[in-house]
Amino acid sequence: HNELIELFREDLNRTNFPSSPGHHTGEWERYDDMLELAFRLSRDGRVAAAQELFDLGLERLESSEYERRDPPFEEPFLKVLRDYTRKAPSEQGGSAYQALCYGYVKAEWPHLSLRASKVRTGSSRQQRYGDIDGYHGPDLMISVEAKDRVIDESNVSTELGTMMKVAQNTTEIAIAICTEVGPEARKTLEDTDVRVLDDGDLARQLRFW
């Protein structure tokens, strides 16, 4: 009987097929009249009766179908990350990437008030820390530096030295978002408590959006 339940519920998607194994094995005496009628049938008769009962079950029990969208939803955020042109001839390098990072930070921390710096303007000259700073009231909670370039051991201190100082000397969360981060540079940053995200990390998170 358990095989019949599994057939209807699993293979035929009739998840509302009744299941009460204790009743089936402990209440046979209540169905003596039905059993006697079944035993009187010939082999062919039992096959025909079983087929009719099977068809009745398929008719009365609705199939549990999984809803699908065709075509499936596109992944616009991943498309922007992978395919959007990062720099036009008339634009400053890094502006598109900083805007992309701003959108990501806004979505991840919607409760914070964000302030973004101008591209290629030092944060210290603006009395700020990162390219994007997130405040909760008067308190600075996160500081994000966006780098549209490969960060490796040769340039990590030059490009992200300020973020390392922020992580070590303040209470806010310091985050570096970069196109690509080499393993040695990532270790250097993480050893100083800088949270690191590269395009691969962003892509993995955006799959859940």
Sorted by where each begins, the domain ranges of the chain are 2-60, 76-206
Cis peptide before 21 (omega within 30 of 0): no
Helix 76-83 to helix 199-206 angle (10° resolution) is: 160
Query: Which of these, 68, 84, 80, 64, lies nearest to 13 by C-alpha position?
Result: 64
Is 3.40.1350.10 the CATH classification of the domain at 76-206? yes
**Mean confidence (pLDDT) of the chain:** 85
pLDDT, residue 98, reads: 92
CB-CB contact of 150 with 179 (8 Å):
yes
The Cα–Cα gap between 57 and 51 comes to 10
Give CA angle at 134 (130, 138), nearest 5°.
Answer: 115
pLDDT tens digits, residue range 112-163?
Answer: 999 998 765 555 544 568 999 999 999 999 999 999 999 999 999 999 999 9
Q: Kindly report the CA angle at 57 between 52 and 62, in degrees rounded to 5? A: 145
pLDDT mean over 16-34: 73
pLDDT at 101 over 90: yes
Global pTM?
0.66
Alpha helices in the chain (DSSP H): 2-6, 21-26, 32-40, 43-60, 76-83, 95-108, 156-169, 183-191, 199-206
Residues 6+ apart with CB under 8 A from 120: 92, 94
End-to-end CA distance of the chain: 44
pLDDT tens, residue by residue, 85-96: 877 666 666 788
Nearest CA-CA partner of 175 in 137, 129, 208? 129
pLDDT tens for 30-49 read 778 888 888 888 989 989 98
